Structure 1
């Protein structure tokens, strides 16, 4: 039985936490290459900034929507004026300028409220909440190829709907489960695992992708052939993002009110559970009714049906179950390690 204290005694704890995840990574589009020529360098630079905003806006819309939804809405045309309204800032990554020519690599940050409002006005469903951070495990048929694959993947990616950190450990296989991955995953702040098995040869690389959670391993699919390993990374990210969008996009405005008990063993675990609830695209209006050292009472609204919510929370390391008193939320990660 949870011993409850008045939530007002813990206002300082609760008020410091935002119910919305930080979406800056999602709304930032980097590595946009531009090359503009004009009568003056100032004009060329302005043209380059406008071109970057327009290119980036198209990439962003594609990032957070599904193709069939865009087609059903009649498209989402992006012109210079709209891209300018949607953007918040332009950062220069690299530039070369002179004699009326501006070449560079730019990053554009977009305004989430403006983008959401525009898509809502067109009736285009979207998701701009990231999947849980994942530990990505590179796999290949031999050590040399696996090393090359790991180097191509880099240390991780954040500007995607499916952020990941790359595993530096060895000894994993396509049969590795959460018990094997969790020590490294937990150390790197990852809540789930991704097995990315590279196969093929030069000019014909494919990646078979599986997601590993406390519930088991689910194969997402295999990418189309790519000519290079860099291309294989792009294809892998597209596959992961498409899967995340299909499972997370909410197509109905209907919400169901819910109450739940949250069980935890430490303040750190409570913060993790609270963060997972706040970052779920299915949950809104999260409020803490009462809190104690070993548990809390929360209420919220959720979209969709309970199984979808349960699956989303499980990917975030949260177990949703039911007892005689109602819903119970606890750490699935701790439970899998024998912590509950």
Structure 2
């Protein structure tokens, strides 16, 4: 990239260099993206064919298309799933950034593997915006998750299966990253009962024992005679307090399958809560559909260091796109960017970062509060 400098003073020239851009054309800055969510890891693929090579090719082709669908369901709000129909013709192969093999085995006619598919973040975003499909690709802060099988009929041997069901999920690249922890002996059955019932000080006890403010217990109650699996997610995630319950039918011999399904649904619930909260903070699903609204800012600062700090906050704020530095002087900069919901919503987002964005006589002025 060629950068043209036309600063009229040494200080302005220095500020322009610190900003890395000062052009007459207003060249766009690349905004650092939270790209972790664009990897679908530990994804199982399987195919059979007349020979091993064909089986592997088929597994790769079908697998990357299925992983792409999984990615879309990860980042698109549930209320907008209907819009995914517009993406049926998109070929995942055109958006693949890389594939890594976790494990694989094959025969002369069969191929099975567990793969990590990494998709091109900007390519996926461009397609979603073009097709008017809303998405959230910001990951929540990591929470602790404690898989627990309570004592009772059917509990014997199920604890390991329940934990393994969560371990087999992609808890790293999900929108709601999880760190799995074992139940500590200090957490007694009455504490779990209080937690799932939503009473008492159970949440405070968990936070104290695990030294984490974000902690969720995934409690499974297995009713073999009634052929039911009852699951409760209770505690606090990045959205806030949670006490979610669901029951699953459990046919004879299908306990492991029911636990696997419950883990998949449970992770989807946590992701769904986060997507809904993020969409709401940005003005709702309609506000994040398509490109964000253009916002023209006058950024005021007292030093080059403060300008660099403000610029970093802008580049790191999720939802801000197409940032253009159109001019920099000794004490101010003209900035053009896009943000879902426009300047009023951007003001709310930047306030959380210690910045004040105000409409002053028709000009949106951004200053640091510190």
What range describes the TM-score normalised by the shorter chain of this pair?
0.5 to 0.7
Q: Which residue of 1 is the match for residue 66 of structure 2?
A: 55
Aligned counterparts, 1:145-164, within 5 A: 157-163=171-177
Q: Which residue of 1 is the match for residue 341 of structure 2?
A: 304
Structure 1, unaligned runs of 5 or more: 142-147, 186-192, 213-217, 331-339
Task: Please give the TM-score of this superposition, normalised by the length of structure 2.
Answer: 0.60
For residues 191-244 of structure 1, the C-alpha deviation after alignment (integer angstroms, 9 at most, x for no partner) is xx64535566453232246567xxxxx637544437648443453234323433
Question: Quick check: 1:45 aligned with 2:56?
Answer: yes
SS in 2 for 1:26: helix
For residues 293-327 of structure 1, the C-alpha deviation after alignment (integer angstroms, 9 at most, x for no partner) is xx97573433314453244345xx50233689843
Q: Which residue of 2 is the match for residue 259 of structure 1?
A: 298
Query: Aligned-pair distance for 1:50?
Result: 0.5
Residues 5, 291 of structure 1: 8 Å contact kept:
no
Question: Quick check: 1:14 aligned with 2:48?
Answer: no
Task: Please give the TM-score of this superposition, normalised by the length of structure 1.
Answer: 0.64
CA distance in 2, matches of 1:100, 1:152: 29
Larger Rg: 2
SS in 2 for 1:244: helix
CA distance in 1, matches of 2:272, 2:60: 26
Residues 7, 290 of structure 1: 8 Å contact kept:
yes
Task: Classify 1:233/1:296 alpha carbon distance in 2 versus 1 (closer, same or farther; 3 Å).
Answer: farther
SS in 1 for 2:50: coil
Q: Which residue of 2 is the match for residue 88 of structure 1?
A: 97
Q: Which residue of 1 is the match for residue 230 of structure 2?
A: 204
Task: Classify 1:196/1:105 alpha carbon distance in 2 versus 1 (closer, same or farther; 3 Å).
Answer: same
Query: Aligned-pair distance for 1:28?
Result: 1.4
Task: Classify 1:42/1:13 alpha carbon distance in 2 versus 1 (closer, same or farther; 3 Å).
Answer: farther
Worse-superposed segment, 194-203 or 84-93 = 194-203
Task: Classify 1:60/1:262 alpha carbon distance in 2 versus 1 (closer, same or farther; 3 Å).
Answer: farther
SS in 1 for 2:296: strand
Task: Classify 1:94/1:238 alpha carbon distance in 2 versus 1 (closer, same or farther; 3 Å).
Answer: farther
CA distance in 2, matches of 1:244, 1:304: 13
CA distance in 2, matches of 1:296, 1:305: 21
CA distance in 2, matches of 1:201, 1:137: 20
Q: Which residue of 2 is the match for residue 25 of structure 1?
A: 36
The count of corresponding residues between Structure 1 and Structure 2 is 294
Structure 2, unaligned runs of 5 or more: 1-8, 22-27, 149-159, 188-200, 223-228, 248-257
Query: Aligned-pair distance for 1:329?
Result: 3.3
Q: Which residue of 1 is the match for residue 124 of structure 2?
A: 115
Query: Aligned-pair distance for 1:62?
Result: 1.4
CA distance in 1, matches of 2:30, 2:315: 8
Worse-superposed segment, 30-39 or 158-167 = 158-167
Residues 322, 328 of structure 1: 8 Å contact kept:
yes
Query: Aligned-pair distance for 1:90?
Result: 2.1
